[in-house]
Amino acid sequence: MRIPVLTNLLEESDALAATNRQTFEAAGVFVVNLMSSPGAGKTTLLAKTIDLLQSRGLRCAVLEGDITSTLDSERLAPLGVPVVQANTEPFGGDCHVGSHFVRAAIEQLPIHELDYLFIENIGNLVCPAEFYLGEHRKVVVLSLPEGEDKPVKYPLMFRECQACLLNKLDLLPYLDVSVPLLRERISTVNGDMIVFPVSAKTGIGLGTWIEWLEHGRQELQARHVGARHDVS
C-alpha cells in the first residue's frame, strides 16, 4: 500500500509559486512577502511604505492575508491602491498565505501596471516562513517590545528572510531591550540578514528601507530588459 506524503503537497505549492514568479518577472513587478507576529506593526509599516513609494511615482498593490476579517484591508484602502483580501478561515483557517491565494490575486490585480506587490502575510512567526509564494524578497517585521529572544526561538523565520525591520524604535527609551544584543542574535541565526531599525509611527529609518526596496526593483528591471534583449 502506498501512503501519500506531505512533501507531495509542498511540491505542488512550490510549482505554483514558480509559476507566480514567472508571472511577476514577465510583468516586472517586485514582490515582497512581509511577515511578523501579530501586533508587530506590519500594516502601519506597510501603509507608510506605500505612501513613500507612491510619492516617488511608483505603483503598488497589496495581497492582505488574515484568517478572518477585512480590517487591515480597510486601513489600507485610503491609500488608493488595489487590495485583494485573502481569508483562510473558509479553507480551514491556515496560518499562512498559500501560493494558490497569490495566484488568485494575480488574476484580480492589474499586474502589468504595478511596480510593487506586497503580500502582508498572516501574523505568525512560524508557518509563513515555510512556504515559497513566488516572491522576490521575504522580510520579517520584529517589534522591539517582543524582546531579544525571538530570532533564536523562531530561527526558521530569520533564516528564510533577507531583511528584518526592527519596528517601534520610538519605544526604545521605555523598554528593557538591547538593540545590539538583538542584532547579535539575528546575526547568529542569519549572518547575511540586513537589519533596518525603524519606527512606522515617526518615520525613523524608513528612507533606508525604501532605498533597499528600490534597489531590488531596479535589479528586477535590469533582468527584465536583459531577457527581452535575449529574446530579440
Rounded CA separation 232/226 (Å): 10
DSSP class of residue 205? T
> Percentage of the chain surpassing pLDDT 90?
87
Burial status of residue 64 (CB atoms within 10 A of its CB: 0-12, 13-18, 19 or more): buried
- pLDDT grade for 230, boundaries at 50, 70 and 90: low
194-223 tens-digit pLDDT? 999 999 999 999 999 999 999 999 999 998
Distances (CA, A) of 59 to 62, 66, 202: 11, 23, 23
Nearest to 116 by CA among 142, 148, 149, 81: 81
Residue 8 in this model has a pLDDT that exceeds 80 = no
| 102, 13 Cβ separation under 8 angstroms | no
Q: H or E element: which one contains 214?
A: helix 206-231
Q: Is 118 helix (H, G, I), strand (E, B) or coil?
A: strand
Mean pLDDT of 85-97: 84
Could you write out the DSSP letters of every residue in 39-71?
Answer: TS-HHHHHHHHHHHHHHTT--EEEEEEESS--H
Rounded CA separation 98/132 (Å): 8
Domains and CATH numbers, the chain: 6-231 (3.40.50.300)
133-167 tens-digit pLDDT? 999 999 999 999 999 999 999 999 999 999 999 99
| pTM for this prediction | 0.93
Q: What is the pLDDT of residue 142?
A: 98
Integer-rounded Cα radius of gyration of the chain: 18
Work out the end-to-end distance of the chain between its first and last CA atoms, rounded to an integer number of angstroms.
52
